[in-house]
Structures are given as structure tokens and as C-alpha cells.
Structure 1
Amino acid sequence: MKRKPLLLFAFPLLILAILAGERMATVLLGTYPASPTAWWIWLELRPWSTMFWQQIDFNLGESMTVDAVVLAAAAIACWMACHTRRSAFFFLANHVALIFAGLMIAVGGNSETASTIAAFTSPSGLPFSLTVDFTLKSSLVLLLGTAACAYCHVTFLAEARARAEARTVRILALQRDI
């Protein structure tokens, strides 16, 4: 199986597009505060990216330029990781994007009505509850992320199998020559 860097980069790009879309909607709301479309986009994307941008703004200053640089640096790093030959950095890009998406959904789910609330009791007897957000949007993003990670695994295993077969052929040729 030949590695397709664009497919490996698709899910990290989706997560970066969600973060960039929220920042763009924020800029548009500053310029056109009466735009219903900008408000709709902002309200849809804000729950997922609120905590991330709050941390970036707190640590690096409240500048949209810094936010754009962070997004550009992440996109370049992911693009290069998906194009590196003879390495598994594309694993890192996709799996970190999936973990990040899960965290964004978990944090954003606290500001919305959760569809499932499960109460558990720990072995020590301490009760706690778990809130999970299973909206269509969140489920679709997690499904896409899982598919992207599965594609990474299939690609990596196919490359490893091809390398093993090539090594076996070389070893057989050496044994025949000796």
C-alpha cells in the first residue's frame, strides 16, 4: 500500500480548520457584529475551542497574530510529519489530533446538555459521574478521527510488511550467492 500523505493529513487538517474557523468567526464578529452567519459559526465552534484559545491567550498574550502563527506552525508540523519517509511521525500527527479532538469535545460537552450521564462508585466508595456528549457533530468527528487512525495503522503495517518482504528477498539472494 502506497502512503497517501494527503489522507494522513486530512484529520489533523479538520481539527486545525475547526480552531481556525472559530478564530475567523471571532474576527468577523469584531468587524460585523450584526452578522447572523458569523454568530452561528462562532456559537457552533466556540464550545470545542474555548479552553484551547483561553490557554494560548493566557500564556502568549491576546493576539490574533499569535493565534494564526500557532495554527500555521501546527499545520506545517503536521504536513511535514505526514510527508516524512521511513518514519511513523504521521502516527503522532493523527493520534495527537484524535486525542485533542476528544479533549475538545469533552471540555465543550460540559457547556452543553449532555446526552448521557452515568453515575459510578469507585472501589473506595466515592461516587462520581461521567458526562459524555454524543451529539451528531461530536460523534462524526470522533468517527472520522478513528478512521484516520485506522488508516495510519493499515499504512504503517503495509509498509512494515513490504520492508520485511524486501529484506527476506535480499537475505535469500545472499544465501543463494554464498
Structure 2
Amino acid sequence: MNGSATRFAILLRGVNVGGVTVKMADLRAVLQSLGLLEVQTLLASGNAVVTSVLEPAVLKDTVEHALRTEFGYEAWVIVLPMARVAELAETVPYAADDPAVHAYVTFSSDPAILDELLDVGAAGGQEQVRLGPEAMAWTARKGLTLDSALSKATGKLRYKSATTTRNLRTLRKIAGAG
């Protein structure tokens, strides 16, 4: 424990897609049962904002274990201080409302994984930029996201346990909940 409470974003990987259904009310109840405070869930894509005295790595392990136990799936989460989420949301150099292009941010608990993904994106001609050790921003033409090099790569087993992606509009909503 670090002794002082910090506001964190918890970003779940792969919920409410691919047969894994987690109702946000149920997610909120599980997080509250862990002793987390000021628990908010946002949208239906597996986003929560909580207050905790736990260090980020301990919070990550605690939440993943609870989700695996409660919902019976291989749960992975990214945990970031809300101040960092807000900073990253403002750093993205792409427009959130471009009528032709979606802007995304991929988060990782392993900076080396983001290095690999940047190489994959570059080889695929992906528009992308590294935002920091834990995040990269990229774009995909509307209607072609699932065909993009980065979308295909992050769906592979190698990357599932260490990454999750959010649309820039979603990321800004999360940042605004801090």
C-alpha cells in the first residue's frame, strides 16, 4: 500500500465482445466488494474509475483475480492513475471526431509489447505515434478498423494479456470522470 488514496482508471480487456458478458452493475459490485471507493463504471466496454490506496500493480492483480473468480473468464486489466489518463487523452495528435477516421489508443502493461506493436503498425503502413511507455495512438479509416494491422495484431493471443484499446472519444469520457 502507498498510504494515500489515488484515483485510478481500470480498463478491462475483451468484455462485452466475443461471448464475454459483464454487466456494469455487476462489475461495480465486484469492485466495491474489494474495498475500492468511489467506484464508477463507464459505458459498457469495461471501464471503471475507482479510488484506492493500493499500488497500481497490486490493484491490477487484485482486480484480475476477482474478475476471473466472479465472471469465469481470463480477465486482464490495465490500471492507470486518472491524472495520467487525462494527460494521455490530451496528448493524442488525432481528432476524435474526424468523419473519415477513427482514432484509438492502445494501452499496455508491458512497454516492450508496445515496441513490437509499433513495428507491426509501421510494417502495415499504420498512422501511429507512441504517447509514452504505456500507450500508443493510431488511426484507422472508418469501416476498416478490424482490417488494420494493429487491430489484427492486438487480437492475437500474444498481446491479449498485456493490451487493451479504446476509441479516443471513449478515452476522453473516461478522463472526464476523474
Q: Give the TM-score normalised by structure 2.
A: 0.23
More helix by percentage: 1
- Greater share of strand: 2
Higher Cα radius of gyration: 1
